[in-house]
Structure 1
Amino acid sequence: MNRVVELKQQLKPGKVYRREDLSKYSNAVDRHLAQLVTEGVLDKIAQGMYYYPKQTVFGPVPPEDEVLVRSFLKDDRFLLTSPNSYNALHLGTTQLYNKRVVYNHKRHGEVDLNGKKFFFHKTPYFPKKVTPEFLLVDLVNHLDTLAEDREMVLKNAITKAKAMDLHKLRLAVGRYGHTKTKKLFEPILEQMKSKEYHWK
């Protein structure tokens, strides 16, 4: 059997492959991969990364962001988010950002994957999934990067914080807050704690 055909038979639609994943199926992996890219079988999405498109009646489906990041990191431990997520807090943020942020344990820096920019932040602490408390802390951490009226957004964020669960917010601030963010939230948390104690 032709080695390129043999390699192609290992591919599954919708999956992203790294060069090293496919080298065991070929005795000339770089030449064979280049041939498959030329034939339109594979899409080269980054250095050493290839995508076997899933075909539908509407044409090929691009790889999901989570699939790209998982393959790039070779790790399931990451949190993929975006400044657009802040809009769910209803603090007056309305801008739409073409920015994807990846909290992870391995990489730091800007990476282009399949024509999309991903901003990798290496950090020891991030939640498994986005929560309102994490979003609020993350927003204050990156307030200086927002395009909106920052004073208005911060004022609304403080109001929002006072209506949140004290325990969950305290944990989020302690685990994920930058030094400046922790200082900002400190008097708010103390005030919330005092009020909670008063009502007991």
Structure 2
Amino acid sequence: MNITADIKTKIARIDTGEVFTYDTLAIPQGEFSAAAKALSRLVANGIIKRYKNGIYYKPKQTVFGELKPREDVLLKNYLFENNKQIAYVTGVRLYNQLGLTTQIPNVVRLASKDKQIKTTIGNLVIKPAKSYVTVTKKNIPLLQLLDVIKDFKSIPDLDKKQGIAFLKSSIKNLSDTDKNKLVDFAKVYPPKVRALLGAILQSLSLNELSKQLKETINYLSSYEFGLSQKILPSIENWNVT
């Protein structure tokens, strides 16, 4: 089967409204030039639409006209490269999804270890953020928890008591393996993250894990989160305020 026939067969299996890329079609690198021509012909014939360079979708017709792909569907294409996840959503958009803020920003932060992702998707502005470790599908929930701690003080309209309750509950419900991974990842985050995480772990009586973090921070430094001992009594042992 030649590349054009192969592409047509694969696109026929894709639902209308779905977004796809060269990765989705599993096009070998040596076939990119021929594939580009084949895709351009399909665009010209109205079978598919080009959203941006390298990103396509099958148009879906409704009584109100053509339905374009949702922003969240388009966003997913920037989280993967060569079928491997390289980035994740962080920042205020994430904190809204977690129920920590009511604000819904039109700026979405995508965190990646080795790539800066900047683009626009409809009304969304995509800006890069730093991932402190290499992103994998499995470690994203842990990295997002650490991001909540890192940005705790600056999350818009955050109820700090509820925020600490969310973190305690989320960490408590992790498996022992993931608790250990969380601590290992925290060691490459800023000291303030290790301090607040250590205080939370101590409050959960996870003393062996909190001790690991205690050894990594300067006991003369202080870390301001706008917290009181009434919200988290253990902060007095970590110079967290």
Query: Is residue 17 of structure 1 aligned with residue 21 of structure 2?
Result: yes
**Shift in CA distance, 8/178, structure 1 to aligned 2, threshold 3 Å:** closer
Would you say how many aligned residue pairs link Structure 1 and Structure 2? 181
Partner of 2:146: 137
Partner of 1:185: 197
Which letter does structure 1 place at the counterpart of 2:69? P
**Shift in CA distance, 10/117, structure 1 to aligned 2, threshold 3 Å:** farther
- Identity percentage of aligned residues: 16
Q: Any unmatched runs of 5+ in structure 1?
A: none
- 2:163 maps to which of 157, 168, 179: 157
3-state SS in 1 of match to 2:84: coil
3-state SS in 2 of match to 1:147: coil
Question: What is the CA–CA distance in structure 2 between the aligned matches of 1:51 and 1:117, rounded to whole Å?
Answer: 19
Deviation at 1:90, TM superposition (A): 4.8
Which structure has the higher relative contact order (CA within 8 Å, separation 6+)?
1
Which letter does structure 2 place at the counterpart of 1:65? L
Deviation at 1:99, TM superposition (A): 3.8
3-state SS in 2 of match to 1:69: coil
Which letter does structure 2 place at the counterpart of 1:24? A
Following TM superposition, the consecutive aligned residue runs of length 4 or more in structure 1 with deviations greater than 6 angstroms are 5-8
- 2:60 maps to which of 51, 55, 58: 55
Question: What is the CA–CA distance in structure 1 between the aligned matches of 2:117 and 2:153, rounded to whole Å?
Answer: 18
**Normalized against structure 2, the TM-score is what?**
0.53
**Shift in CA distance, 183/76, structure 1 to aligned 2, threshold 3 Å:** same
- 2:77 maps to which of 68, 71, 83: 68
**Shift in CA distance, 9/126, structure 1 to aligned 2, threshold 3 Å:** closer
CA contact (8 A) 1:111 1:117 kept: yes
Q: Any unmatched runs of 5+ in structure 2?
A: 210-241
Question: What is the CA–CA distance in structure 1 between the aligned matches of 2:135 and 2:35, rounded to whole Å?
Answer: 37
**Shift in CA distance, 96/169, structure 1 to aligned 2, threshold 3 Å:** farther
CA contact (8 A) 1:54 1:61 kept: yes
Deviation at 1:161, TM superposition (A): 3.5
**Shift in CA distance, 121/84, structure 1 to aligned 2, threshold 3 Å:** closer
Deviation at 1:51, TM superposition (A): 1.0
RMSD: 4.3
CA-to-aligned-CA distance 1:138-159 (integer Å, 9 cap, x gap): 212233553225xx43x43334
Deviation at 1:182, TM superposition (A): 1.2
**Shift in CA distance, 121/10, structure 1 to aligned 2, threshold 3 Å:** farther
3-state SS in 2 of match to 1:186: helix
